[in-house]
Amino acid sequence: MFIPTDPLITLQAGEPLPAPEHLRITPDRCRLSAVHPMGTIPMGDDPAQAAVDSRGRHHEIDGLWVADGSLFPSSIGVPPQLSIYALGLHVGRSIIAAG
C-alpha cells in the first residue's frame, strides 16, 4: 500500500504498521489524490479469460451481473463517471433483454 506523500511511504503486507507519529506526515508532504478502483472483473466472452461476458453476465453464476468500473480491463486514467454510466446502461439493457 502506498500513502501519497512526497516522498512516497510504502507499507508492505504482513509487516506491522508504524505508529502514526513515526510516519512524519505533514501538510506540505501530502498530495491530494483520488482513486477509482477499476479492472477487477474485465469483460470477455471467453470464460477462460474473463469472469463476465460482453453483456456483464457472470460466466459461472446464474443471475449475477456486473455493471460498474470493475468491468474495465484496467484504470482508464480519467474520471470514469460517464464511462461507468454507459456500462451500466449497456448491462441494464442486457438484463432486460435476457429477462
| pLDDT for 88 | 95
What average pLDDT is seen over the chain? Answer: 85
SS3 content of the chain, % helix, strand, coil (to 5): 25, 10, 60
Residue range 68-80: average pLDDT?
A: 84
Cis peptide before 37 (omega within 30 of 0): no
Catalytic residue among 36, 58, 59, 90: 36
Which DSSP letter does residue 62 get?
A: T
Task: Give CA–CA dist 92/99, Å, rounded.
Answer: 11
| pLDDT for 45 | 95
Is 59 catalytic? The answer is no
